[in-house]
Amino acid sequence: MEPARQKFIARLILFVFALVGAFWLLRLDYGRKISTNVIDLIPVDERAPELSLVRSLTDQQQARVLLLALSSGSEAPPAEAVSAFADSLRRSPTIAEVEVLGASETRNALGTFVFERRFDFLLPRWLAEKHAQFSSTGRPASEFSTWLAGDTAEQLDHFLTRAESVAFQELLPSDPLLLVPSLVEKIQSLAVSSSGEVNNHALVWAIVRDSPFSEAGQDPVFGAIESALSEARAIASEVELRWTGVNRFAAESKARIKAEISWLNTASLIGVIGIACLFVRRLWKVLHLVPVVLFSTLGAWVVTTMVFERVHILVFVIGSLLAGVAIDYGFYLYMQPALRPDEPYREKLGRLLKPLLTSCLTTVIGFSLLFWSELPLVQQLGVFVSAGLISAVAVAMLYFAQLDRAFLETRNFSPPSSPRARYIVRPLFALALIVAVVGPWCLHWRDDIRQLEIPAVELRANDAAVRQLFGDAQERTAYLTHGETPALARAALERFTTWHDAQFPHAPATSAGYLLPTEAAWTQRGTLLNALADFPEKLRPALDTRGYTAESFEPFFSAWEDLRAAESPAYASLFTDIRRVLTGPLGLLFHLDENGGPSWFLTLADHPPGAEPPAETSTFGVAQLESLNSLFSRYRADTAKLSIIGLSIIGLSVFVLYGLRRGVRIFMIPAGSCFFALGLLGLLGQPLNLFHLLAAFLGVCLSHNYAIFSAENARRHEPPPPSIRISALTTGISFGVLAFSRIPVISALGSTVALIVFTALLMVELEPLGQTSGHKKPPAN
Amino acid sequence: MFLRRLFLALCFFTPLARAADMPDLVSPENRIVIGENDAPWRELAAELRAHGNVTAPFTENRYLPFKKIPVVFTGRMRLSAEGALSLQYESPEKQLMLVDARGVMLRDSRGRTREVPSDPRANAATTALLHVMRFDLDALSRNFELYGRRDGDTWQLVFDPRPGELSRVLNRLVVTGKDAHVKQLEMRKSALQGIVIVIGEADTQVKFSDEERREFFR
């Protein structure tokens, strides 16, 4: 092909690629496409149902909650100021729901509902329990009314001997069965966490309309809160606000990541330019490598955003390191001198094609395997890097095809060859071998999802303080009970409660689900009511005998007659009613599907996490952090398995392409540097996580390139090509800078890759010196 | 039956019947106006506060409109110098009720502790009760009309909640004493409904051990 035509075709392809890529990226809605939500790292269809539930609970419900505590010096702020604050929030389109905790209207509405509907919601369970107790006495069924009347009077006596009974005095003439006091006792803990004034703070609970991880769920919400505070201060100027919400963390994290990326890139750029100044004779020519990196990144972005509906931002942060791999191909092609002055580009390319394609495709095969990971982040990273590498190698070949002289002259800094060098090098290799063999046995793993974010110490402290005001006890354990239908979920809750009360007798569980009867108790209610036709007649004398004035209980007797005359509502209607009345924080404690689908109840217990509920209770302890961390452990094991398969394929392909002897040398460099790096981390006691593993995989792929690119020179006993040195140093510095990141996982990634890359470079550079024959002088550049 | 009821009424409704005489006490001439005629009461308040930690047996009679006889509780009360009131019930059930600046806490015989959910009205009542315990006349006068009468070494103070939130949860509170000792606390809802706490011989300047503080306070 004519050089002019070759240039034209190369430029045309690059232009079209750039155009199509830019068109695709410009039409994307980045707000929807890119997620900053940590929870998006968990697959939507996570196979463990409890983790799916935790994901849904965390993402859809809890993440949108705002907790706002108003104070006024050492006193609670005036009620008018609190109302103005809440009303202002209610008017904001960014806020879906606002509740002033402990507000008498809400509490009264709930109290009125429970009292008025006590026979629908509370009586069924009471009747079922009493009937079970009666059955255990072995007395004939006809005596049920008499027995129940005596028991009721006795229980009333017992209740009145309790100090707190004074609070229910007004209620008892209407509720001698103690339905409401019993419920209040059962759900006491929930009431504590939704009380209104604690330590002179007025507590306001709100739900954000948009996702706290989206723009709409952040700045506009912060504005609405500011504006609400101004309105409160217009009434009482000394009002102060402390608040917390996931959106605060998300916004802070985003801002910190932006700042982080900015300084990391700057530091990395300075490092790379420094290396280039040191090694490259004509610095400006380095600019020819920029398009290779840019096109590679473009390819990676386009393919990843095409393949995935939603991509996590960490993919781009980690994926930006792709530049370190992509530039290798540019360096290799650009720094190889022509064999003769008139060697055409096609001929030079043909000569370098095998190592170039071997290095690229084996790495791509390795990363492609990550696509089969369960973890979306790892899948996306696999596609991102694979697409980026293919783009990089293709663009490097095309880009240098359209240059008149595709050659970058370098300064030679080869280590001096001396026969005595092997006396230093060999012990060094022996030491490295010991580290590589012994160190990995000292490795230990710690998977912590919090390492994905920059620790926001002040926000965490503020969050803990505000949550404490809202009654979040440290020693509280949360359980989630689920079922295929609301009725099954409620039945499971009953089984769980029985188990829990036996397991933790001094710390009974509390659930909003206790307000709802089980379907079995509901069905039984009608039958038992019929059997208790004469109950009022039996209860009157029973009360009288125990010193009560039976006529005082006329409100109860009247309501009982009304109940027997009324038609029983459908069981499903109870779900609708309970959803309507339990709003605000209490509304987050259960989910009853409107169409009778999967539902759940959250149960709280004031004890530290202990025994896990048995499977038949369909309940699990919701230690969300631990759940997510164990999930990450599982994914780490998955990724490790895929990485080993990927590395095996890479190794195998090297043996097939280069034969056993050269294959062993090529494979030893990446494998050896990887084991050395992991061994060193193990000996230093550094706990590893999923991201160290990904970094090791990335490091192996990079060092694999150096091994292949130096293979030809090694065969000829020549020092490795200078491109490897520059490439490894720039990559090592870029990743080394990441080691200083405040995001723990990025730091882990950077330090691991840098360690592997520098080790591989040393292996490539020192290997010839350690050999008995040494190596020839490097070719002149 | 009638005689039995009459006897019971005479025996147990006596304190309430006496309290029914309160209109005599709640009259303009007995009204305590802070800064005007409160000097003798301030002296009494100072003497009461000077007792430091106090402990005494008590009997609490709860009069209920639907029960013919009151429910009787007995136990030991502890009043700390800081103003926290701990009622250790010994019968009919062992239990503890603590009223302090953080609110109301209940502890049953098995050691299970429950905090009574705070709400604005209950908080107002708790705060008021604590002011009574401390005999903080200035603070009390903001929420109550104060009335007082002395008769020799006995005295009576009436705390009548001012109209508003507090008056919906707290009824008139009558404190009866002799010398510098409180003898009876009485909270009335109606003629048939109320609580009367009769306080026995009090020990003053008591030093609560750490164990006692852990067990009876927080």
pLDDT of residue A145: 93
- How close A198 gets to chain B, by Cα (Å)? 7
Find the chain B residues whose C-beta atoms sit closer than 8 A to any C-beta of A.
62, 64-69, 71, 73, 87, 89, 92-93, 95, 97, 106, 110-112, 114-121, 123, 193, 195
Q: Which residues in chain B touch residue A161, judged by CB atoms under 8 angstroms apart?
A: 71, 73, 92-93
pLDDT digits (tens, 9 = 90+) for A418-460: 667 777 788 888 898 899 889 888 888 776 666 666 667 788 8
What backbone torsions phi and psi does residue A526 show, to the nearest 5 degrees? -60, -45
pLDDT at B187: 82
* Chain B residues in contact with A104 (beta carbon < 8 A): 119-121
Picking from B97, B119, B120, the nearest residue to A163 by CB comes out as: B97
Select the more confidently predicted residue: A575 or A775: A575
Amino acid found at A358? T
> Can you tell me which residue has the tokens 């330590």?
A199
Pair B61, B199: CB distance under 8 Å:
no
CB spacing of A506 vs B93 below 8 angstroms: no
Closest CB to A161: pick one of B66, B93, B114: B93
**CB-based contact (8 Å) between A163 and chain B?**
yes
A504, amino acid identity: F
Closest of A230, A233, A228 to residue A77, by C-alpha: A233
Whether residues A161 and B92 touch (CB distance < 8 A) is answered with yes
pLDDT band, residue A61 (cuts 50/70/90): low
Query: Which residue, among B1, B76, B118, would best test binding to A if mutated, counting the most A CBs under 10 Å from its CB?
Result: B118
Q: When comparing pLDDT for B118 and A526, which is higher?
A: A526
Tell me the sheet residues that pair with A203.
A69
Which of A164, A197, A548 is closest, CB to CB, to B66?
A548
Which one of B13, B66, B96, B168 would you mutate to disrupt binding with A, by most A Cβ within 10 Å of its Cβ?
Answer: B66
Read off the pLDDT band of A46 (50, 70, 90): low
Region A727-752 average pLDDT: 83
Neighbour count for residue A342 (Cβ, 10 Å): 7
**Helical pair A345-369 and A624-683, crossing angle rounded to 10 deg:** 130
Sorting pLDDT into bands at 50, 70 and 90, what band is A147?
very high
Alpha carbon of A154: minimum distance to chain B alpha carbons (Å): 13
Q: Is A111 on the interface with B (CB under 8 A)?
A: no
Q: Which two tokens stand for residue B169?
A: 């949860």
A549 touches chain B (CB under 8 A): yes
**A439 phi, psi to nearest 5 deg:** -55, -50
pLDDT number for residue A504: 86
Any B CB within 8 A of A173 CB? yes
Is residue A701's pLDDT more than 90?
Answer: no
| A552 in contact with B, Cβ within 8 Å | yes
In this prediction, residue B151 has a pLDDT band, given cuts at 50, 70 and 90, of confident
Per-residue pLDDT, averaged over A53-65, amounts to 66
The residue among A641 and A450 whose pLDDT is bigger is A641
* Residue A133 scores a pLDDT above 70: yes
User: Are B119 and A166 inside 8 Å of each other by CB?
Assistant: no
Pairing of strands A477-483, A590-591: unpaired
The 10s digit of each residue's pLDDT in A467-481 is: 888 776 556 788 888
Structure tokens at A634: 């599982």
Compute the average pLDDT of residues A269-286.
Answer: 80
Say yes or no to pLDDT of A40 above 90.
no
**Chain B contact for A107 (CB, 8 A cutoff):** yes
A278-307 b/e with 16+ CB inside 10 Å = b? ebbeeeebbebbebbbbbbbbbbbbbbbee
**Cβ atoms A281, A410 nearer than 8 A:** yes
Minimal CA–CA distance to A590: which of A581, A111, A598, A599? A599
Q: The tokens of A628 are what?
A: 């997510």
- Cβ burial, residue A544 (10 Å; 0-12/13-18/19+): middle
Distance from CA of A41 to the nearest CA of B (A): 39
Average pLDDT, chain A: 83
Both tokens assigned to A464: 């803990």
Instruction: Note the pLDDT tens digit of each residue in A300-330.
Output: 999 999 999 888 877 877 676 667 677 778 8
Q: Which string of DSSP letters, residue by residue, matches B9-53? A: HHHHSHHHHHHTTHHHHSSGGGB--TTTT-HHHHHHHHHHHTT-S
Cβ–Cβ < 8 Å for B166, B125: yes
Query: Among residues A759, A668, A762, A673, which one has the least CA distance to residue A708?
Result: A668
Chain A partners of B95 at a C-beta cutoff of 8 Å? 162-163
Any B CB within 8 A of A198 CB? yes
Alpha-carbon distance of A55 to A45, in angstroms, equals 10
Q: Find which of A2-6, A558-562, A644-648, B127-131 is predicted with most confidence, using mean pLDDT.
A: A558-562
Q: What DSSP string describes A744-762?
A: HHHHHHHHHHHHHHHHHHH
Spatial contact of A352 and A332, defined as CB atoms under 8 Å apart: yes
**For the residues A341-351, what does the mean pLDDT come to?**
83
Say whether B71 and A163 touch across the interface (CB within 8 A). no
The vertex-A66 CA angle with A77 and A89, nearest 5°, equals 60
Please identify which residue in the block is written with the tokens 């015989």. B109
Question: How far apart are alpha carbons A374 and A47 in whole angstroms?
Answer: 9
Q: Do B115 and A162 touch (CB under 8 A)?
A: no
Nearest to B64 among A169, A191, A198 (CB): A169
User: A756 burial class (0-12, 13-18, 19+ CB within 10 angstroms)?
Assistant: buried
Beta strands (DSSP E) in A470-508 are 477-483
Chains A and B form CB pairs within 8 A to the count of: 71
CB contact under 8 A, B71 and A188: no
Asked if A221 and A208 touch (Cβ cutoff 8 Å), the reply is yes
Q: How far apart are CA A386 and CA A374, in angstroms?
A: 17
Q: Which residues contact A500 (CB under 8 A, 6 or more apart)?
A: A479, A508, A509, A603, A605, A613
Closest residue in chain B to residue A555, using alpha carbons only: B66
Top-confidence range, A273-287, A358-372, A550-564, B106-120: A550-564
Write down all domains in chain B, each with its CATH number in brackets: 2-216 (2.50.20.10)
Distance CA A206, CA A587 (A): 12
Least confident of A59-68, A82-91, B14-23: B14-23
Is the Cβ pair B73, A191 closer than 8 Å? no
Please check the confidence at residue A238 and state whether its pLDDT lies above 70: yes
Query: Do B66 and A549 lie within an 8 Å CB cutoff?
Result: yes
Closest residue to B112, CB basis, from A195, A506, A552: A506
CB B152 within 8 A of CB B111: no
* Residue range A201-216: mean pLDDT, rounded: 84
How far does chain B reach from its first CA to its final CA, in angstroms? 48
Q: Which one of A192, A470, A545, A546 makes the best mutation probe of the B interface by having the most chain B beta carbons within 10 Å?
A: A192
Q: Answer for the pair B25, B32: CB distance below 8 angstroms, yes or no.
A: no
Predicted confidence at residue A369, as pLDDT, reads 78
Contacts of B62 in chain A (CB under 8 A): 160, 166
Q: Tell whether the model's pLDDT for residue B15 goes beyond 80.
A: no
Please give the average per-residue pLDDT across A387-413, as a whole number. 85
pLDDT at A149 over 90: yes
- Determine the distance in angstroms separating the CA of A254 from the nearest CA of chain B, rounded to an integer: 38
Across the range A9-26, mean pLDDT stands at 93
Considering only CA atoms, give the Rg of chain B.
Answer: 17
Say yes or no: ipTM exceeds 0.90.
Answer: no
Question: With contact defined as beta carbons under 8 Å apart, do B104 and B115 qualify?
Answer: yes
Q: A169–B118: do the CB atoms touch at under 8 Å? A: no
**Chain A residues closer than 8 Å to B193 by CB:** 169
Mean pLDDT of A29-51: 68
Lowest-confidence range among A129-143, A668-682, B151-165? B151-165
Secondary element (H or E) of residue A209? none
Residue A325, judged by CB atoms within 10 A of its CB (0-12, 13-18, 19+), counts as: buried
A188/B120 touch (CB, cutoff 8 Å), yes or no: no
Structural contact between residues A729 and A413, judged by C-beta atoms closer than 8 angstroms: no
C-alpha A392, offset from chain centre: 31
CA distance B87 to B105: 10
Omega of the bond leading into A419 within 30 degrees of 0 (cis): no
Report pLDDT for A417: 64
DSSP A288-351: GGHHHHHHHHHHHHHHHHHH-SSEEHHHHHHHTTHHHHHHHHHHHHHHPPPSSTT--HHHHHHH
The conformation of residue A57, written as its DSSP 8-state character, comes to I
For B98, the closest chain A residue by CA position comes to: A163
- Residue B13 pLDDT greater than 50, yes or no: no
Please count the other Cβ atoms lying within 10 Å of the Cβ belonging to residue A729: 22
Residue identified by tokens 């509906």 is: A309
Split at pLDDT 50, 70, 90, the class of A711 is: confident
Tally Cβ neighbours within 10 Å of residue B9. Answer: 15
Identify the sign of the CA torsion A750, A756, A757, A758.
positive
Nearest to B118 among A172, A195, A549 (CB): A195
Q: Which whole-number Å values give the CA distances from B64 to A137, A178, A529, B122, in the listed order?
A: 33, 16, 29, 21
The stretch A486-511 carries a mean pLDDT of 89
Cβ contact A591:A600 at 8 Å: yes
Q: How confident is the model at residue B117 (pLDDT cuts 50, 70, 90)?
A: low
A94-124 per-position pLDDT tens digit: 998 888 886 666 677 788 888 999 999 999 9
Higher pLDDT, A425 or A220: A220
CA A501 from chain centre, in angstroms, equals 32
Of all residues in chain A, the percent with pLDDT exceeding 70 is 87
Best to test chain B binding among A106, A204, A552, A606 (most B CBs inside 10 Å): A552
The pLDDT of residue A271 is: 80
3-class secondary-structure state, position A169: coil
